[in-house]
């Protein structure tokens, strides 16, 4: 799909992957609607990219956001939130919050905006998942589950849209990315390997997935190997995972 001139809605656009994607889309000639909760940062990204800032929470006002942004050619569901620690010690309310932002909100935005794409025979949905949604990560059980749900939702939706010309669905699987995500989840990332990659690298993957109609995009690409190994040989995968972390 051509993205120059396309109207693109990006959630979680105030920092990290969302802000990097806004810059990449702007450079490609897209018209941007940027959504996020941090008004000051969001307006700064909007001023830099020529986009329109819509401050709000996708978990409580998806319909209002969709109404302000429509018609949308490309939806990039990037807003996300994590929590790290033993599941048995997870505070009350955190399960609902993580599922709402990582799974329910993207599904609801897709429900609201997809009919217009089908009618116009032009559109693309991008769901920013995580490698945690492909293999599961200890200490992030609910986050992994929500991202896995997003992956399967995208797969089912892609099957439904096989008869709708011009409308595509992509899932992007980032690994460890140098963003505020880890500080906000409450536990910083302190491993030496794999080293965090810049959010701009994920943004390039998102742009490429749209342009080339890719159903899946792993960033970095080697993450495809553990994801495939888990499906083909789960016993071997879990043995290696216990050794390497």
d(CA 59, CA 109): 10
* Six token digits for residue 180: 């505020």
The catalytic residue among 127, 143, 181, 218 is 143
- Asked if residue 18 lies in contact with residue 36, where contact means CB atoms within 8 angstroms, the answer is yes
The rounded distance, in Å, linking the Cα atoms of 242 and 240 is 5
Residue 123: count other Cβ atoms within 10 Å of its Cβ.
26
Do you find a cis peptide bond into 241, omega within 30 degrees of 0?
A: no
Residues 6+ apart with CB under 8 A from 222: none
Is 143 annotated as catalytic?
A: yes
Q: Show the tokens assigned to 51.
A: 């986009």
Q: If residue 142 lies in a helix (H) or strand (E), which one and from where to where?
A: helix 141-160
User: How far is Cα of residue 19 from the mean position of the Cα atoms in its chain?
Assistant: 12
In the sheet with 167-174, reading across from the earlier edge strand, the strands are 52-55, 31-36, 7-10, 74-77, 123-128, 167-174, 216-219
What is the three-class DSSP state of 233? coil
- The residues carrying an active-site annotation are 143
């Amino acid at each position: 799909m051509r993205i120059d001139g396309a109207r693109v809605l990006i959630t979680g656009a105030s920092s990290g992957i969302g802000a990097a994607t806004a810059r990449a889309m702007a450079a490609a000639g897209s018209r941007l609607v940027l959504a996020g909760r941090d008004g000051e940062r969001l307006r700064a990204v909007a001023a830099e990219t020529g986009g329109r800032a819509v401050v709000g929470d996708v978990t409580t006002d998806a319909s209002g956001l969709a109404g302000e942004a429509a018609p949308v050619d490309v939806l990039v569901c990037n807003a996300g939130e994590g929590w790290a620690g033993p599941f048995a010690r997870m505070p009350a309310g955190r399960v609902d919050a993580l599922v709402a932002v990582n799974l329910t909100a993207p599904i609801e935005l897709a429900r609201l905006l997809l009919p217009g794409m089908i009618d116009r025979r032009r559109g693309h949905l991008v769901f920013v998942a995580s490698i945690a949604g492909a293999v599961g990560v200890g200490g992030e059980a609910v986050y992994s589950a929500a991202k896995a749900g997003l992956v399967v939702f995208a797969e089912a939706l892609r099957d439904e849209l096989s008869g709708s010309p011009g409308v595509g669905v992509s899932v992007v699987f980032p690994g460890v990315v140098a963003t505020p995500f880890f500080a906000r989840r409450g536990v910083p990332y302190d491993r030496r390997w794999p080293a965090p990659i810049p959010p701009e690298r994920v943004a390039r993957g998102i742009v490429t997935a749209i342009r080339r109609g890719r159903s899946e995009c792993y960033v970095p690409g080697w993450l495809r190997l553990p994801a495939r190994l888990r499906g083909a040989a789960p016993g071997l995968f879990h043995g290696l995972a216990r050794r390497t972390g």
